[in-house]
């Protein structure tokens, strides 16, 4: 008599079917999860690219604000950005996030430093855009990744790879060529690179405890007294231009807060979804567009010495980018 244990039972069949269903469900969930991750990265790339695209065309927007000078533009930019951020916090009901930061004195102090650094960056950038130095502003943002690496050595005491030192050396040679050959010290470019590099360093110290809207709100809040003083001085000396040059000009000047906040929010939304490598590659979109605007649209001069200097900077960036990609791949392979 054969044992009944060797024969398939209804229970065994049910178990097999259940296991099959579970396997299919797990595989389906994995496929859906992978598709969602790919979609998130794609959306993040679009957001990040859009932010750099808007930053690339900013010089043209500020040129539309003539006859408003750089001091008045930055002052309105600060105050109107603060108003726009306050509206966003109200609409999204995220005031508690902002108030929570006030219970962190160290983080609060870092936002003050970040505000001062971004003020220097904004003021120098708009001065360069309005004074015929758009190409030099683009040079500043081309140099920025190299300045960031240098700050990592000087401030964070990080050790650089040999290729990174080569990139820094080439960039230094580029600045020397521009100074000697072109006969002018690129202070606008170097100030932009240094201020934005330090700003990034401070934001890294702040970390995820401060979201993009709260961060910009606090930074503009600390700068508001400076903006008010600037407007008083400009009003007493040159006269304020808002409301004095037609309604179109007034509308454009009133939108500086939106123009400031929107790219930052797009960048924050994109940075959460894409890798640092993607951000590192996309960050060159803005200076490339600024360079093209200055050279092709505004017809700023590009003598041979400046071409050589920019060429060296671009070589340094290629070296730095390739090194970063190779290093990231080695880490992935090791992991």
Q: Enumerate residues 6+ apart whose C-beta is below 8 A from 110.
A: 202, 205, 206
Residue 3: per-residue pLDDT: 47
Residue 195: per-residue pLDDT: 92
Pick from 83-92, 95-104, 242-251, 274-283: least confident: 274-283
pTM exceeding 0.75: yes
- The mean pLDDT of the chain is 86
Distance CA 214, CA 85 (A): 8
Contact (Cβ atoms closer than 8 angstroms) between residue 169 and residue 163 = no
Tell me whether residue 143 is exposed, middle or buried, using C-beta atoms within 10 angstroms of its C-beta: 0 to 12, 13 to 18, 19 or more.
buried
Residue 207: per-residue pLDDT: 74
- Position 23 confidence tier, pLDDT thresholds 50, 70, 90: low
Give one DSSP letter per residue of 103-166, joined into a string: T-HHHHHHHHHHHHHHHHHHHHHHHHHHTT-HHHHHHHHHHHHHHHHHHHHHTT-PPPPHHHHH
pLDDT digits (tens, 9 = 90+) for 30-54: 666 667 777 888 888 898 899 999 9
pLDDT digits (tens, 9 = 90+) for 140-165: 999 988 888 888 788 877 788 888 88
Domain boundaries, given as residue ranges, for the chain: 13-329
Say yes or no to pLDDT of 325 above 90: no
Q: In degrees, to the nearest 5, what angle opens at C-alpha 170 toward C-alphas 160 and 189?
A: 100
Helices marked H in the chain — which ranges? Answer: 10-56, 58-63, 70-91, 95-101, 105-130, 134-154, 162-182, 187-206, 212-237, 247-254, 256-271, 276-282, 285-292, 304-334
pLDDT digits (tens, 9 = 90+) for 287-308: 999 999 999 999 999 989 889 9
Say yes or no to pLDDT of 272 above 80: no
Residue 26: per-residue pLDDT: 65
């Amino acid at each position: 008599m054969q044992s009944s244990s060797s024969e398939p039972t209804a229970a065994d069949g049910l178990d097999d079917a259940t296991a099959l269903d579970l396997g299919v469900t797990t595989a389906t969930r994995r496929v859906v999860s992978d598709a969602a991750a790919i979609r998130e990265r794609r959306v993040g790339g679009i957001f990040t690219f859009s932010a750099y695209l808007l930053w690339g065309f900013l010089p043209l927007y500020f040129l539309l604000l003539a006859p408003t000078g750089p001091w008045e533009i930055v002052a309105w930019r600060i105050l109107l950005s603060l108003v726009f951020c306050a509206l966003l916090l109200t609409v999204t009901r995220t005031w508690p996030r902002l108030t929570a930061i006030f219970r962190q004195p160290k983080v609060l102090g870092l936002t003050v430093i970040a505000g001062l650094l971004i003020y220097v960056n904004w003021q120098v950038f708009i001065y360069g855009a309005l004074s015929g130095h758009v190409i030099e502003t683009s040079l500043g943002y081309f140099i920025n990744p190299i300045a960031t690496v240098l700050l990592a050595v000087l401030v964070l005491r990080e050790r650089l790879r040999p290729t990174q030192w080569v990139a820094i050396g080439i960039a230094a040679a580029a600045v020397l060529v521009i100074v000697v050959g072109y006969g002018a010290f690129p202070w606008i470019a170097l100030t932009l690179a240094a201020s934005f590099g330090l700003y990034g360093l401070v934001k890294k110290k702040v970390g995820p405890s401060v979201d993009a809207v709260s961060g910009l709100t606090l930074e503009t809040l600390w700068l508001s007294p400076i903006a008010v003083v600037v407007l008083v001085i400009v009003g007493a000396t040159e006269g304020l231009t808002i409301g004095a040059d037609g309604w179109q000009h007034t509308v454009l000047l009133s939108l500086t807060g939106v123009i400031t906040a929107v790219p930052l929010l797009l960048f924050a939304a994109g940075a959460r979804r894409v890798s640092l490598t993607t951000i590192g590659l996309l960050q060159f979109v803005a200076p490339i567009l600024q360079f093209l605007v200055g050279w092709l649209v505004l017809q700023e001069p590009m003598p041979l010495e400046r071409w050589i200097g920019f060429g060296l900077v671009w070589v340094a960036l290629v070296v730095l980018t390739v090194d970063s990609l190779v290093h990231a791949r080695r880490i992935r392979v090791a992991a």
